[in-house]
Amino acid sequence: MGVCRRRRSTVFFKRSPIARVGDILKRAVEHEQSVSALARRYDMSFAAVQKHIAVLERASLVIKERRGREQIVHTNGPMIAKTPRSV
């Protein structure tokens, strides 16, 4: 029963907003991307991805910058360096 419960919590975590926020941060660390490009990678609305990015912005982990019609998301280097590796 413990294994089943652990598996269930892992599946829930992979689908949870916290996991998606972490995945968006990971992608922003790899290279800057537009909000539209990030939204295409997930099975959720553009607005939902925007909200996840807003969480990262409030934590000062990413910066959103307008370039023409696009909003580019990139990491805030100094804050990422201060973040524990386990996050």
| pLDDT confidence band for 7 (50 / 70 / 90) | very low
* Residue 26, in any domain of the structure: yes
Write 15-22 long-range contacts (CB < 8 A, 24+): 17/52, 20/44, 20/52, 21/52, 21/55, 21/56, 22/87
* Residue 17, in any domain of the structure: yes
Among candidates 6, 2, 1, 46, which has minimal Cα distance to 24?
Answer: 46
* Residue 68, in any domain of the structure: yes
- How many domains, the chain? 1
* Residue 87, in any domain of the structure: no
pLDDT tens digits along 27-43: 888 889 999 999 998 88
* Residue 23, in any domain of the structure: yes
Sorted by sequence, the CB contacts under 8 Å of residue 38 that are 6+ apart come out as 24, 27, 28, 49, 53, 73
pLDDT tens digits along 44-54: 889 999 988 99
pLDDT computed for residue 1 by the predictor: 43
CATH number of the domain within which 32 lies: 1.10.10.10
Q: Write out the residue range of the structural domain in which residue 48 sits.
A: 2-82
* Residue 54, in any domain of the structure: yes
Assessment of whether the complete model's pTM goes beyond 0.95: no
The answer on pLDDT for 26 being more than 60 is yes
